[in-house]
Structure 1
Amino acid sequence: MEMASEVGIDLGTANVLVYIKNKGIVLNEPSVVAINKDTDDILAVGEEARQMLGRTPANIIAVRPLRDGVISDYDITERMLKYFIKKTCGSGRFFKPKIMVCVPSGVTEVEKRAVREAATQAGGKDVYLMEEPVAAAIGAGIDIAQPDGVMVIDIGGGTTDIAVISLGGIVASTSVKMAGDKFDDSIIKYMRKVHKLYIGERTGEEIKKTIGTAYPREENMVMECRGRDLVTGLPKTVEVSSEEIMEALEEPLHTICEAAHSVLEQTPPELAADISNSGIVITGGGALLYGIDRRIQDRTGIQVRIADDPTSCVAIGTGKALNELESLESNSLNRRAPYL
């Protein structure tokens, strides 16, 4: 197996994507690990482990080691990274690739160190960190080195990162812990409150993907949803509509729109003028929620477009940035350059 020398990793709360130089994205799997509690052995990683969420016997747990965009279980994250790097890059004893990992724009020094150490322990030689909105902008095909301001909203699984980028660095940004996971949680809570139905994470996600909406649909959609009746304790099926799901998602959507508005308020007037011309770009898995572009457009009054292949933007941007490492390292334009 040919050894990969440069690897870009989008270490997401919901999915891990691995980009290898000259090959593109070679892995896209859920950030889930199944562990045998008795022996501490890893039984499955990625999609296979995701199938086990909410369905395991007592001695097996399916864990998501990243929460809200940061590492919540260091040991399991390191083992998961090791598994994915071995799976995509091969495992030479003396071979260590350069690794670029993406982190949300609001992470603390402690969280950065945890990511760096996990990637080093998993087999990285030089580990670089990059801010997610910058990687997302590069992956969406935006030339971030230009002096024109661009605004990116990256709605991932754990965090929504919003940033205005100019001359290769971040001018104004915010990161809110409202994203895909919170959409699922809001749907689960709504089903409990309104329909007295207890559903799991996977069902919540399925409802979001099938009939979830951020903006009124022309035609109301319905789907059947199965879960456990909170009153009788027995399995029950109810019909739920896209209008209801829009109501369920109101709080996280409102938070994201207000965060976008606050970043625009912090943006210098020259760059704000650029953004009103060029528009806002949405990336990340959350960009797939129906009508989210219209919702943000209504709140900001600025044209919004969804990037092509929004879920892969961060990983592609990370990979492209690896190619530019030398030039960007020698030409770090400001203190808030994308490399941390």
Structure 2
Amino acid sequence: METGRGTGSAGWAPFGRDLAIDLGTATTQVHVRGRGVVLDEPSLVAVDTGSGRLVAAGAAAHEMLGRTPERVVTLRPLSDGVITDSEVTEQMLRHFLGRARPSRLVRPRAVVCVPSGVTAVERRALEDAALRCGARGVHVLEEAMAAAIGAGLPVESARASMVVDMGGGTTDVAVISLGGIVNARSIRVGGDEVDEAIVRGVRSAHDLLLGERSADDIKVRAGSVWPLAEERTVRVRGRDLTTGLPRTVQLGSEEVRRMIEPVTAQVVEVVRLVLDICPPELSGDLLDDGVVLTGGGALLRGWTERLRHELGVPVRVAEGAEHAVIRGAGACVDDLSVLRRVLVGAPRA
């Protein structure tokens, strides 16, 4: 796409280093105009409970999970794609933006991505956080549209495109045609719920208590939503709930699949629902072109096979799926003409 379009008060300032921000439940990603994606960190902070001071954020806070002293607590200030602690979110975002934009000479404009199902209050909280962190104007972009642009789908075409964006806290499903969302659904189910299902499953089946990092490791190493050609096993350490002592168990990918099935079934159902309500004129396009999966959750093994079997349409995972949303939002920052067509509502300043 052509970049640098639009000057003056109505457009992007050519040297303003404007930003795209994907403030997600699991990760925060920042794109700076002219530089690309400059930050990709866990949406996690470590806070001193006595002073409220930010001790660490992002990867540094992730390294502290389960290892902090009594005065320090690690937490996620977002849940299900929306802000749950505005003060901590602002501290985290200010920290990230300070790293992404060391210069303070020009206040940037920002494109902020939101799940399709957010309320007006939740959307305003995201806008306010960006404004308080120094943005001079905030544009809002739905994550499903950003994901479609980032995945290279022909969103301006009359042919329908369908995107399923699987994030840490939400899954957004949308059918897009002629530059707009024809229909969409969003459920507050994502990678975090998969981790929680693994923690519950291991506790129930093995009387073993796991931490967040251990559950995520199991998901990455042995997680799947469809039988694998070669099933995997993983050794897991946790605390025995009976003795209180450390213990190791071995899990197979088939067992992990059963643990997370209640979560993955919800994702399948919402995709089926969006297909069911798709206008007949567009359904034929989807039978030919299929569904594109984006987001970090799309990397869980077996999604293409599972959805192809359940829905009867072609399914593929976008290249660089975990960065599709920020790529799409970044394209809007780099080219104002794209932003004008797809933003949600009027920009805030």
Structure 2 length as normaliser, TM-score? 0.93
Map of 1:54 onto structure 2 = 66
Map of 1:145 onto structure 2 = 156
Q: CA separation in 2, counterparts of 1:149 and 1:49?
A: 41
Preserved CA contact (<8 Å) 1:170 1:338: no
Q: CA separation in 1, counterparts of 2:337 and 2:124?
A: 22
Offset at residue 4 of structure 1 (A): 5.2
From 52, 67, 81, the counterpart of 1:40: 52
Residues 1:339 and 2:337 aligned together:
no
Question: Residue 126 and residue 326 in structure 1: after superposition, are their counterparts in 2 closer, same or farther (change >3 A)?
Answer: farther
Residues 1:291 and 2:302 aligned together:
yes
Aligned residue for 1:78, secondary structure, equals helix
From 175, 178, 184, the counterpart of 1:173: 184
Aligned residue for 1:82, secondary structure, equals helix
From 132, 137, 146, the counterpart of 1:121: 132
From 223, 229, 233, the counterpart of 1:218: 229
Question: Residue 327 and residue 192 in structure 1: after superposition, are their counterparts in 2 closer, same or farther (change >3 A)?
Answer: closer
Q: CA separation in 2, counterparts of 1:163 and 1:281?
A: 10
Q: CA separation in 2, counterparts of 1:321 and 1:291?
A: 32
Provide Cα deviations, 1:152-181, integer angstroms capped at 9, x if missing partner.
000000000001011111111111111100
- The answer for unaligned runs of 5 or more in structure 2 is 1-14
Residues 1:19 and 2:24 aligned together:
no
Offset at residue 327 of structure 1 (A): 5.5
Q: Counterpart amino acid of 2:126?
A: V
- The answer for unaligned runs of 5 or more in structure 1 is none
Q: CA separation in 2, counterparts of 1:249 and 1:328?
A: 37
1:63-102 correspondence runs (5 A): 63-92=75-104, 94-102=105-113
Q: Counterpart amino acid of 1:75?
A: E
Offset at residue 325 of structure 1 (A): 2.4
Provide Cα deviations, 1:263-321, integer angstroms capped at 9, x if missing partner.
01111011111111111000000011011111111111100000001010000100001
Offset at residue 80 of structure 1 (A): 1.0
Preserved CA contact (<8 Å) 1:69 1:104: yes
Q: CA separation in 1, counterparts of 2:253 and 2:268?
A: 20
Aligned residue for 2:308, secondary structure, equals helix
Preserved CA contact (<8 Å) 1:18 1:27: yes
Residues 1:229 and 2:240 aligned together:
yes
Offset at residue 29 of structure 1 (A): 0.3
Q: Counterpart amino acid of 1:263?
A: V
Q: CA separation in 2, counterparts of 1:262 and 1:5?
A: 40
Offset at residue 202 of structure 1 (A): 0.6
Offset at residue 68 of structure 1 (A): 0.6
Q: Counterpart amino acid of 1:11?
A: L
